[in-house]
Amino acid sequence: ALSLSQEMKFLSGGMPGGYHRTTSAAGYEFLHVSETFMRMTGYDRRDIKELFDNELMNMIHPDDRESVQDALAGPNESMPALEFRLRSRTGWIWVMDQFTLTAFEGHASLQGIALEISETVNLRSRMELLMKHSPDRVSILDTGGEIREEILVNGLFHDGGCDQYRHDAGPF
């Protein structure tokens, strides 16, 4: 059986993503940050206290704070994962953070696991830009010599009322 100390060790450093626990009050004061959270942001506990007043909200990009605050207001146990920018020592990084409401030492708190998704967000943005400015047909040759062709009916995506069709042509 897994002991509480083994579980905390796993949550604090043995899993992908940065574990954190905060108060449920506005500002979301940190009660705990894991080693992986600190590695992901490049800040240690002292830095977080000094630079961000020990509050998660102060680490969140100003343009994302309102949407995060709205999502966390009146939290429940099945909250959706949130995407937002988080301050790191090297600049802003995109994270997906899955929060859950828990009780800790008799007080409501939020636990979260933050995964850095900067590369995914950048790729998604580039693909959206490519599709926005591309002709009706996009052909992609992958490194294995496979040709994939995507046809955009009338140059529009599904959001515009048309569907995107894909054809795998096979080896080149």
Give percent above pLDDT 70 in the chain. 65
How does DSSP classify residue 163?
-
pLDDT of residue 163 exceeding 50: no
pLDDT of residue 36 exceeding 80: yes
- Which range has highest mean pLDDT (28-37, 67-76, 102-111, 134-143)? 28-37
Q: What is the pTM of this model?
A: 0.71
